């Protein structure tokens, strides 16, 4: 194996999650009586930390953005998380990587408890040794903070194991985090993000399908 620590973004890399995310965002904005922006472009809000979406995409102030984030989480917890579907081929890829001795973690800016619950709903809890996400207060939301946290949760030493670590994702946030952490990055073309934006952050390897990840990782 080329890598020992393989970190998977969740939304758009492991799961098809757009339906639940959009529904939760629309609910939160309706409760705040805020006209939603055009949500047809998933690249605008799938990938960024949640609070950033309310601040930057929706144009809210910090207090209202925090209210929106809580409304979003309430709806997502009761409805949105059940709308996730695993990408075809991902379970087989995870099984093969584990069989080759790799240590696998989910590495997502999503609230960690939600990420853990989604992995259980999709029956993938035995595929990952760790599920690493953000805290409820919004800390540890950026990939540059999550990547070291994930490696260390898997039992590694981030400083010593950078060359053995790879981040897999579908957005420029994933690619940027990998670049800032000085670890390898592999983008997936089947997700929600922009290939050009990932390339702008230094991404040079891409998988067309989940199955192609095996070739790039071994």
The catalytic residue positions are 9
- Helix, strand or coil, per DSSP, at residue 200: helix
Q: Which helix or strand (DSSP H or E) is residue 62 part of? A: helix 62-78
- Judge whether 132 and 107 are in contact, CB under 8 Å: yes
Beta pairing partners, 168: 8, 186
* R_g over Cα of the chain: 16
Which region, left, alpha or beta, applies to residue 186 given φ > 0 means left and ψ of -120 to 50 means alpha?
Answer: beta
Whole-angstrom CA distances from 195 to 12, 54, 175, 185 are: 13, 24, 10, 13
Distance CA 161, CA 163 (A): 6
CA nearest to 177, candidates 138, 142, 203: 142
CA nearest to 184, candidates 198, 155, 170, 205: 205
CA nearest to 69, candidates 34, 43, 118, 107: 34
């Amino acid at each position: 194996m080329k890598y020992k620590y393989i970190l998977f973004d969740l939304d758009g890399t492991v799961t098809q999650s757009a339906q639940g995310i959009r529904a939760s965002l629309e609910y939160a904005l309706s409760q705040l009586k805020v006209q939603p922006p055009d949500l047809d472009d998933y690249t605008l809000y799938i990938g960024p930390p949640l609070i950033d979406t309310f601040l930057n995409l929706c144009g809210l102030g910090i207090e209202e953005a925090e209210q929106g984030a809580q409304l979003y989480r309430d709806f997502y917890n009761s409805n949105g998380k059940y709308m996730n579907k695993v990408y075809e081929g991902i379970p087989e890829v995870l099984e093969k990587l584990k069989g080759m001795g790799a240590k696998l973690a989910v590495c997502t800016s999503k609230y960690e408890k939600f990420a853990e619950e989604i992995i259980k709903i999709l029956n993938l809890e035995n595929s990952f040794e760790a599920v690493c996400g953000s805290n409820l207060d919004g800390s540890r939301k950026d990939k540059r903070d999550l990547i070291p946290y994930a490696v260390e949760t898997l039992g590694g030493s981030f400083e010593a194991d950078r060359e053995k670590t790879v981040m897999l994702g579908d957005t420029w946030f994933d690619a940027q985090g990998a670049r800032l952490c000085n670890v390898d990055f592999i983008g997936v073309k089947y997700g929600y993000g922009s290939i050009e934006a990932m390339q702008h952050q230094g991404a040079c390897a891409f998988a067309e399908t989940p199955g192609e990840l095996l070739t790039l990782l071994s």
